[in-house]
């Protein structure tokens, strides 16, 4: 017996179905980036704040009680994973959640945490 996977699965049909649901290497990297972005409470707060509205960076900093500089750094991470988009209006940049799947995944995770918190109360 080696340390690798067994040579013959007990249930080849179930194994084949499970293998088809495995992400591609590209999607694995993207999932890791999204999960890394989610591992920060400040970024989760930002996603929640932007879930139904568009906010300027300074207003978002006020909502999450962080400095503008710190908020900017977190926004950069969220932009890089495709969770938020920026739109310049004059000299003000406003942020909103993107229509990308990334934003949906992050919002779903935040809602799952909310649900968990309600069940623990």
Domain of residue 80, CATH code:
1.10.10.10
Q: Is residue 4 part of a domain?
A: no
Q: Is residue 70 part of a domain?
A: yes
Domain that holds residue 94: 12-120
Lowest mean pLDDT among 2-6, 52-56, 93-97: 2-6
Q: Is residue 31 part of a domain?
A: yes
Count up the domains in the chain and report the number: 1
The pLDDT assigned to 108 comes to 81
Question: pLDDT digit string (tens) for 7-21?
Answer: 888 898 999 999 999
Q: Is residue 63 part of a domain?
A: yes
The pLDDT assigned to 61 comes to 97
Give me the residues paired with residue 56 across strands. Answer: 94
Q: Is residue 115 part of a domain?
A: yes
3-state secondary structure 52-76: CCCEEHHHHHHHHCCCHHHHHHHHH
Q: Is residue 3 part of a domain?
A: no
Averaged pLDDT, 31-60:
89
Phi, psi for 35 (deg, rounded to 5):
-65, -35
Q: Is residue 52 part of a domain?
A: yes
Q: Is residue 71 part of a domain?
A: yes
């Amino acid at each position: 017996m080696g340390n690798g996977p067994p040579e013959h699965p007990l249930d080849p049909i179930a194994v084949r179905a499970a293998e088809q649901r495995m992400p591609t290497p590209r999607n694995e990297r993207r999932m890791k980036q999204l999960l890394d972005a989610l591992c920060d409470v400040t970024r989760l707060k930002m996603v929640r704040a932007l879930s139904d509205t568009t906010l300027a960076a300074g207003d978002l900093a006020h909502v999450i009680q962080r400095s503008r500089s710190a908020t900017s750094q977190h926004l950069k991470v969220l932009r890089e994973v495709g969770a938020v988009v920026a739109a310049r209006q004059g000299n003000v940049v406003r942020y909103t959640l993107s229509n990308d799947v990334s934003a949906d995944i992050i919002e779903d995770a935040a809602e799952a945490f909310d649900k968990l918190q309600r069940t623990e109360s």
